[in-house]
Structure 1
Amino acid sequence: MLDPALLERITARRAELDELEEQLVKQLAEVRAERDELAVAERVLERMRGRSPRNVHQPDRCRGKWPDGR
C-alpha cells in the first residue's frame, strides 16, 4: 500500500522543481539577452577603435560623397 505522506512529499517536491525550472528558464533568457547586448557593444567598440580620430567625422561622406570624388 502507498504511504500517503510519501506521495504528498513527492508531489510537493515536483512542484518545487517545476517552479525552480521556470525561474531558471527566465534567468537563462535574461543571461542570453545580456550576452547578446554585450556582443553588440563589443563590435561597436572594435569598429570605433579601428577608426582614427580624423576619420570619425567626415562631412563629405555623410552627404553621400566620398573624399576621392566617387
Structure 2
Amino acid sequence: MTLYVRCVMELDLLERIAARRAELDELEGQLAKQLAEVRAERDELAIAERVPKRMTGQLAEERCSARPMPGQVGDGR
C-alpha cells in the first residue's frame, strides 16, 4: 500500500469520525432538551398531585370545625 493510499484512507476515516461526532453532538443536544422537558413536566405533575391532597385536607378541617364538639351546646341563636 502506498503512502498516498494510506493518507487518503486516514483522511476518509477522520472525516467519518468527525461526521459521527457531529451527529452525536446533535443527538446529545436533543436528548438534553428532551430531558429538561421531562423534568419540567414531572415537576408540574408533582405540584398537581399535591392540590387534591391539600383540598381534601382543607375540606376535612372545615368539616371538623363546623361540627359541634360532643357536649357542646348550640351557640344560642
For 1:8, give the aligned amino acid: V
Count how many residue pairs are aligned between Structure 1 and Structure 2.
54
**Seq. identity, %:** 7
* Runs of 4+ in structure 1 over 3 Å off: none
Question: Where does residue 52 of structure 1 map in the other structure?
Answer: 52
TM-score, length-normalised on structure 1? 0.71
Please provide the CA RMSD for this pair: 1.7
Q: Higher relative contact order by CA 8 Å / sep ≥ 6: 1 or 2?
A: 1
TM-score, length-normalised on structure 2? 0.65
Where does structure 2 lack aligned partners over 5 or more consecutive residues?
A: 56-77
Question: Where does residue 66 of structure 1 map in the other structure?
Answer: none
State the SS of the aligned residue for 1:51: helix
Where does structure 1 lack aligned partners over 5 or more consecutive residues?
A: 56-70
CA distance in 1, matches of 2:9, 2:3: 10
CA distance in 1, matches of 2:48, 2:27: 32
